[in-house]
């Protein structure tokens, strides 16, 4: 997949995209798919780096998604690879409509038996991880699979493109294999795929938002219990829009910065004698911790409070009132958690100065995207101001686009 997928049309008509993907699948594999499934990316409205600390988050599924056309191989089919003939039940063949240099399809092929972490690189590791964890379940045998991917979720932008691919894959295989998995179970399994197979120490938020999201709502999720509530987020009805500013600075959860933050939180919890930072009292004495750990703990505690306050404001219909919480979240992520970057800070500061009621970085940080809650009438003003500020600062031109809270994962055709 290419870095700047957002340069393509968003493709909000999933039915049209699904039909086109099914036709392309038939061209690639010589047979029609068994179906097409979708899973959206997500924007985290507030609640950053709290998920793996058993805290609270408030994401929403967006109207940009990964589509996968999938077909199970039949028992009498045989494929050939570099090692000679291989039984169809042993082979998974993945293809993506995007690849890094734009020269055509990107492919990944592997056998299911013996599939282990590190066996598949690049984008193919995400669906491979799903196959790996499903195959580890008692009584589940994953046969040969053919899969073709199309996505409008920008890669590396902090909008959960990898989790959208994982979720689309698990929803498809759950349907085709008749597994009957509940949505929270799918979220846990895709988290295992991310943690154990891909090697990224992510929490449960992204998968849950993609699986459980609904149009016009945010998902209030307790990451410890996995209890969730759909909270109204009627931005358009309140004369608002959510703008995403994709800075073009790629990030990766598999990189060391994310893991270092998680390890710091775990050290802080251990020093404070609790299972996770979720259990630290608000007025806890942090004086025994080193300065860096104090900052990490302080962010998590304050961010949990901001999520709870945002939920109360949305329940009361005060959508605009969430804006100052977004700005406070960004300051905490920048100063205490230290996961922002100059481009993200510029996007947030410029959006606020141009009329946004709130703005912050979203996602794991170290790059990716910022979001801005903007009066609809000032949307173009904010877009232009951000573009001009990036140009004046000598930064790569950002991709600025609107998103709306959309539906969660499911079958398209």
Annotated catalytic residues are: 206
In the 3-class helix/strand/coil scheme, how is the chain assigned residue by residue? Answer: CCCCHHHCCCCCCHHHHHHHHHHHHHHHHCCCCCEEEEEEEEEEEECCCCHHHCCEEEEEEEEEEEEEEEEECCCCCEEEECCEEEEHHHEEEEEECCCCCCCCCEEEEEECCCCCCCCCCHHHHHHHHHHHHHHCCCCCCCCCEEEEEEECCCCCCCCCHHHHHHHHHHHHHHHHHCCCCCHHHHHHHHHHHHHHHHCCCCCCHHHHHHHHCCCCEEEEEECCCCCEEEEECCCHHHCEEEEEEECCCCCCCCCHHHHHHHHHHHHHHHHCCCCCHHHCCCCCCCCCCCHHHHHHHHHHHHHHHHHHHHHHHHHCCCCHHHHHHHHHHHHHHHHCCCCCCHHHHHHHHHHHHCCCCEEEEECCCCCCEEEEEEEHHHHHHHHHHHHHHHHHCCCCCCEEEEECECCCCEECC
């Amino acid at each position: 997949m290419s870095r700047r997928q957002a340069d393509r049309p968003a493709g909000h008509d999933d039915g049209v995209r699904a039909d086109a993907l099914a036709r392309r699948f038939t061209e690639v594999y010589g047979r029609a798919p068994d179906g097409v499934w979708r899973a959206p990316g997500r924007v985290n409205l507030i609640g950053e780096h709290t998920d793996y600390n058993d805290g609270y988050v408030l994401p929403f599924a967006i109207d940009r998604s990964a589509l996968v056309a999938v077909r199970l191989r039949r028992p009498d089919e045989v494929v050939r690879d570099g090692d000679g003939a291989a039984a169809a039940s042993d082979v998974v063949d993945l293809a993506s409509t995007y690849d890094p240099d734009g020269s055509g399809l990107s492919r990944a092929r592997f056998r299911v038996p013996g599939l282990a972490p590190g066996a598949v690189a690049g984008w193919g590791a995400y669906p491979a991880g799903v196959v790996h964890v499903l195959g580890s379940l008692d009584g589940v045998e994953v046969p040969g699979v053919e899969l073709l991917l199309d996505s409008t979720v920008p890669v590396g932008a902090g909008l959960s493109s990898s989790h959208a691919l994982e979720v689309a894959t698990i929803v498809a295989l759950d349907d085709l294999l008749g597994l009957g998995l509940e949505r929270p179970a799918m979220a846990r399994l895709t988290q295992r795929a991310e943690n154990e197979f891909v090697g990224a120490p992510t929490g449960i938020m992204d998968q849950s938002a993609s699986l459980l999201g609904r149009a016009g709502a945010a998902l209030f999720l307790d990451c410890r219990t996995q209890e969730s509530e759909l909270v109204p987020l009627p931005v358009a009805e309140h004369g608002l829009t959510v703008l995403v500013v994709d800075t073009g600075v790629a990030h990766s959860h598999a990189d060391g910065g994310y893991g270092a933050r998680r390890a710091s939180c775990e050290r802080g919890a251990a020093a404070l004698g609790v299972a996770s930072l979720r259990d630290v009292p608000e007025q806890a004495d942090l004086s025994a911790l080193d300065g860096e750990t104090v900052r990490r703990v302080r962010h998590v505690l304050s961010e949990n409070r901001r999520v709870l306050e945002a939920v109360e404001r949305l329940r009361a219909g005060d959508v605009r009132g969430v804006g100052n919480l977004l700005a406070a979240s960004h300051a905490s992520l920048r100063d205490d958690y230290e996961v922002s970057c100059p481009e993200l800070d510029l996007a947030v500061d410029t959006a606020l100065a141009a009329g946004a009621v709130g703005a912050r970085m979203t996602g794991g940080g170290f790059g990716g995207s910022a979001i801005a809650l903007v009066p609809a009438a000032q949307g173009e003003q904010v877009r232009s101001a951000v573009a001009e500020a990036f140009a004046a600062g000598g930064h790569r031109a950002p991709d600025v686009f609107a998103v709306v809270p959309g539906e969660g994962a499911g079958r398209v055709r």
